[in-house]
Amino acid sequence: MAPLVQVEQLEKRFGEVLALDHVSFDVDAGEWIAIMGPSGSGKTTLINILGGLDHPSAGRVVVDGLNIGSLGERELTRYRADKIGFVFQQFHLVPYLTALENVMLAQYFHSITDEKEASEALARVGLGDRLRHVPAELSGGEQQRVAIARALINQPKVILADEPTGNLDEANEAVVLKLLRDLHDAGHTILVVTHSQAIGNLADRRVELEHGRLARISVPSLAKE
């Protein structure tokens, strides 16, 4: 069976700066990949290209059979709505919408809204009693759980998480990690950008970048055990 994500000789330039330099790897459906590396190593650039937020300068990125480098703006927008669920370090919730409406916003741009389904998604991340709260009334951990519910609501093929616990305290980090683990156990494909060794150790494989190049792909010891 073909891998769900294929990255082949991927290159991304910002002017003179080479942010990604001939990066290649595959991801199978249901895998949890941790993308790791020091700051400026190209992790976020990689995840932006995988999410259709940025265009590659060279190479090929195929997700669920779609060569996303060849897609126009309109097709990329559709690709993001259909196949990708984003979780950002800064949560990126719309401040004037409630938790429920933030989840429904993703439904709205995907197809049609279903308030009941959105409520259930929030209940699954433990926010069944916070539906009508706006982000300012939620803790960081709660906001990130809203973002996770939003990422999952359209049953995406791939969940892309950029430092999802970067702005959380230990207690909330544990909650979010448990959620990610549950999603992985349920068969979701997850790519997480992280600095955290602990999160890296939870992944099936670690893709490590250095100066835009693929340094190594490793299987964490915890996963092996």
Partner 1 sequence: MASRSMFLRILWKLLGASRGRLAVALIALTSGAAICSALLNVNLDAERKLTQEFRTLGANVVIAPPAGGSEAALADASVLDRIAALHLLRIVATAPYLYVAANSGSQPVILAGTWFDQVAKMNSWWKLEGGWVSSRDDREHCLVGFTAARQFGLAPGSAVQLRSGDRTISLTVAGIVTTGGAEDNQILTNLDSAQALAGLSGRVSLVQLSVSGTPPEIAAVTRTLADNLPGLDVRPVRQIAAAEGTILGRIRGLIFWTIALILILSMLGVLASMAALAMERRRDVGLMKALGGTVPRIMRLFLAEAGTLGAVGGLLGFLLGVVLARWIGERVFGVVISARLEVLPITIALTVGVALAGAFPLRLLGRVRPAEILRGE
Given the rule CB under 8 A, which residues bind partner 1?
Answer: 44, 48, 51, 53-54, 74, 77-78, 80-82, 86, 88, 90, 92, 94-97, 101, 104-110, 112-114, 150
Minimal distance in Å, beta carbon 107 to partner 1?
8
Minimal distance in Å, beta carbon 52 to partner 1?
9
Minimal distance in Å, beta carbon 68 to partner 1?
13
Minimal distance in Å, beta carbon 150 to partner 1?
8
Here the contacts of 52-56 (C-beta below 8 Å, separation 24 or greater) are 52/76, 52/77, 52/79, 52/80, 52/84, 53/80, 54/12, 56/10, 56/11, 56/12, 56/20
- Do 70 and 81 touch, CB atoms closer than 8 A? no
Instruction: Between 155 and 201, name the residue whose CB sits nearer to partner 1.
Output: 155
Minimal distance in Å, beta carbon 109 to partner 1?
4
Instruction: Between 9 and 108, name the residue whose CB sits nearer to partner 1.
Output: 108
β-strand 58-63 against 213-218: which pairing, if any? unpaired
Instruction: Between 107 and 172, name the residue whose CB sits nearer to partner 1.
Output: 107
- In our burial notation (b when 16+ CB lie closer than 10 A, e otherwise), range 175-214 reads bbbebbeebbeeebbbbbbbebeebbebbbbbbbbeebeb
Instruction: Between 134 and 174, name the residue whose CB sits nearer to partner 1.
Output: 134
Instruction: Between 59 and 202, name the residue whose CB sits nearer to partner 1.
Output: 59
